[in-house]
Chain A
């Protein structure tokens, strides 16, 4: 078969089936890719040459005080406002229920004068207990990695660069513990952000920008404190090391309900990703240049995996196996002169772990950014889950059997399959898991066990059809069973999509919410996953990313799989 014949125009042929893609265990193996939100955002910041200037910096010798940065984009001026303070170590917690932080921030429209600064100062440090107005569109906070921050400052103050071993182990100076947007606490709604401030009009642009600025300030603060501590000897941190410093993040259960409650959006994100992969597989060939790029990138990814340090043995094993698998794939690739990339993915499908296969897919996507970059504009979707009132019940029944067979296959008579319930705690409404048959609170459970609701609806639907007629309408069914109206319109809507729902039984006793977390974080662009339990994960954002001072330089979008820098 000729190369041309192999490189098929029909991309649909390369779109993986929903049963493969939407399996939650696979989604829990996703890696960041070129259209991940922080990557797309920084490409735009760099190519549009955004100007980020300190407008009002007032810090004491310990780096406490406030800092305002003015951001000029092609369309508007924004301000990033930071409040840094001393935090009693006893109060330092990554949990959402914490009430005090080392750093609190907001991103807002326009410039900030004295009066506005005073209002922000009275509210931003309070976070959930404060109120801001609709000129603000991100509210966030971060805590120091105390040991690492102090170690870095001590080194810099002594005229030395930070210990790279320690930096490689931790990877950041500050850790964000919550990043709020979309109208929380009085902020601007997403619809306003999207329409009024298109510079932040892609999903999570503003939130990612905020994390990038926290990372920037953490570096500024470390240099500042070192210089104040020892003006005679202090040096600034080397720029290569600065780029290697990311921003830590702790993500818990709060992120998981988002994925289940926004199936249209998640379908869209997945479809964009799969379309990108299908384009690469169907439209490109591994010529000499791309072969070389691929080998370099694979080696970098292996080194990246090798350098990840976590105390979680399962994650260490996953990383080690992925690296080993990638090494095996690379050997095969170098010994076999393939004529199409899908030969490599076919090889991976039969020889490598799921983790390694997803990693390999990302390597291919990294080779052809220009081929897929336009897809970033398709990440947004208006989420409307409208009831199709006139759908005949036999059609509805068939729809469920076709698109929700995965849910109907769950045996809910087994207590284990509904052993967990999700609820909101009275502590800041923090989402938590309870054991259904052992702990109180199931009567207040959140609507997240989609499979269970599908099965309950299906059972009543079958009964209704027997009692009435298969030819009657969905409207009559949901009028008689109003408890099924939500799940019915959801199923009708999702059945029209290519990928549909994430296939997860979120109320199973053995559910692994961390798989959902990693899926979403990969779309953010987050790497270096460090699971602390099945319910929360530490990770690193923006490691290897350009610095604010890199804007205007020719630094490229090549910071995936960050590796330890070489510093002379």
Chain B
């Protein structure tokens, strides 16, 4: 989080603010509730979900959203985001792979030409709830680092690895691969191609769980500036007060 943390919000408070923020951005054109939950999930685990929104605002504010989906097989999808932010369509994209995994045991989607890829985290959380195994892998060309999220057992949260090297794959410079399966071995095969056996997680699932417990106990720190920016967006939903509107409250 950039700036000094000056305000502590409860999870519910931040969730409500994020819902209104996304609702103000897209009205009901997207599943604003699940978008808010995804961002909240990042924030409570220490991954600066709010910063991700604020840095993506120019893109999020641009209404035209041309993305292209193709199916390479019954269980495999490729989605071209044409350089857009992943936030609005990450959940629906993950649904495709999850649906295939539930139906056929395995599902995969390669999402190319996007940014804000950490938003895929919430999809792994969902696979855990569905007793699926999953992984998300991407290469960040800007930082020259490879990111691997790996839900490799019956845990609620994935382990998060960051490698200081480029790993070639279908994800390219600005894409990611999300795979989920009913069996652990398919996921391991995908992960083992890029992850050294002795790699140490950047964050273990236990650390992520502790981060959640900590914010539940104390609240989520947020800079007044970021809080103000989000509220400014969310406040677009507010309707000016008039005599007529006061009658609409029961006066």
Contacts and interface: CB of A to CB of B under 8 A. Distances in A.
B102 A486 contact: no
Contacts, number: 152
A184 B93 CA distance: 33
A533 B250 contact: yes
A423 interface: yes
Interface stretch (B5-13, B55-63, B153-161): B5-13
B245 A432 contact: yes
Contacts of B100: 390, 473, 475
Given A183-B11, A479-B93, A424 B239 contact: yes
Given A253-B249, A390-B99, A390-B103, A479 B92 contact: yes
Interface stretch (B25-33, B139-147, B166-174, B190-198): B25-33
A429 B129 CA distance: 34
A192 B13 contact: no
Given A134-B217, A389-B98, A482 B11 contact: no
A299 B204 CA distance: 64
A424 B93 CA distance: 31
A188 B239 CA distance: 29
Contacts of A426: 235, 238-241
A444 B33 CA distance: 16
Interface stretch (A60-68, A158-166, A324-332, A434-442): A434-442
Given A426-B241, A479-B95, A188 B10 contact: yes
Given A389-B99, A390-B99, A533-B250, A189 B10 contact: yes
A131 B10 CA distance: 11
A469 interface: no
Given A134-B8, A387-B95, A482 B31 contact: yes
* Chain A interface size range: 35 or more
Nearest to A439: B244
Contact of A482 (B9, B29, B239): B29
Contact of A252 (B7, B92, B236, B250): B250
Interface in A102-142: 131, 133-134
Contacts of A439: 244-245, 248
Nearest to B12: A183
Given A95-B249, A536-B250, A423 B239 contact: yes
A370 B237 CA distance: 48
Interface string A33-67: 00000000000000000000000000000000000
A439 B240 CA distance: 11
B88 interface: yes
Interface in A266-295: none
Nearest to A252: B250
Interface in A415-441: 423-427, 429-434, 439-441
A558 interface: no
A483 B65 CA distance: 14
B250 A535 contact: yes
A321 interface: no
B96 A476 contact: yes
A123 to B, nearest CB: 13
B28 A486 contact: yes
B31 A186 contact: no
Given A186-B13, A475-B98, A434 B239 contact: yes
Interface in B7-23: 7-13, 23
B47 interface: no
Contact of A425 (B93, B103, B217, B238): B238
B245 A434 contact: yes
Interface in A465-479: 473-476, 478-479
B239 A473 contact: no
B51 interface: no
B91 interface: yes
B57 to A, nearest CB: 19
Contacts of B11: 183, 189, 191
A134 B248 contact: no
B32 A440 contact: no
A190 interface: yes
B248 A434 contact: yes
A549 interface: no
A476 B29 CA distance: 16
B200 interface: no
B169 to A, nearest CB: 23
Contact of B239 (A387, A441, A489, A534): A441
A424 B16 CA distance: 13
Contacts of A489: 31, 34
A425 B33 CA distance: 20
Given A389-B95, A535-B249, A447 B8 contact: no
Contacts of B130: 386
A485 interface: yes
A120 B95 CA distance: 46
A338 B160 CA distance: 68
A5 interface: no
Closest 8 A-B residue pairs measured CB to CB?
A183-B10, A389-B99, A183-B12, A535-B250, A475-B99, A441-B239, A432-B248, A485-B31
20 contacts: A133-B219, A134-B10, A184-B10, A186-B219, A188-B10, A190-B12, A424-B238, A425-B238, A425-B249, A427-B241, A430-B249, A453-B28, A475-B98, A475-B99, A476-B96, A482-B88, A483-B28, A483-B30, A485-B34, A486-B32
Given A426-B241, A474-B99, 15 more contacts: A133-B8, A134-B219, A182-B12, A184-B10, A186-B7, A389-B95, A389-B99, A424-B237, A426-B239, A430-B249, A433-B248, A439-B248, A444-B238, A535-B248, A535-B249
Interface of B: 7-13, 23, 27-34, 69, 88-89, 91-93, 95-96, 98-100, 102-103, 126, 129-130, 216-219, 235-241, 244-246, 248-250
